[in-house]
Amino acid sequence: MRRVITYGTFDLLHYGHINLLRRAKEQGDYLIVALSTDEFNWNEKRKKSYFPYEERKRMLEAIRYVDLVIPEENWDQKTTDVDKYQIDVFVMGDDWKGKFDFLKSQCEVVYLPRTPEISTTKIKTDLKDK
């Protein structure tokens, strides 16, 4: 079984997220999503999510491409997650291109193109402008 992992906040879930998850799942048989906790988002990323972690987790678990949701609690856990979950493919959006190449000694690293016309930032901006 080919195991795939991706990471993100997945706040204000939209079709760009679904496209990413679908394409990530196409890389293997079992998709794990490491979901940023509220504490990690605030303490490390200085971002406040609209939906709390548990709500974002429930939404992700309802998506047919997602097999398991785990918490992302720090930047450094990627290396240990790859080992712990026996990951074959690490997937991220191409806005992170090159940032996780250090994992290539442990697994395949794939950067997928983002859905260009949509993002959580765009949604927030559009709503603010109304």
Angle 21-9-61 from CA coordinates, rounded to 5°: 50
Instruction: Please measure the distance between the N-terminal and C-terminal CA atoms of the chain and give it in whole angstroms.
Output: 47
Describe the strand order of the beta sheet including 30-36 as a list of residue ranges. Answer: 68-72, 30-36, 3-8, 89-93, 108-112
Q: Pick the catalytic residue: 47, 97, 99, 122?
A: 47
Q: Is 48 a catalytic residue?
A: no
**CA torsion through residues 103, 42, 112, 5, sign:** positive
Q: Pick the catalytic residue: 45, 97, 122, 124?
A: 45
Report the DSSP beta bridge partners of residue 110. Answer: 91
Q: Is 45 a catalytic residue?
A: yes
Q: State the catalytic residues.
A: 45, 47
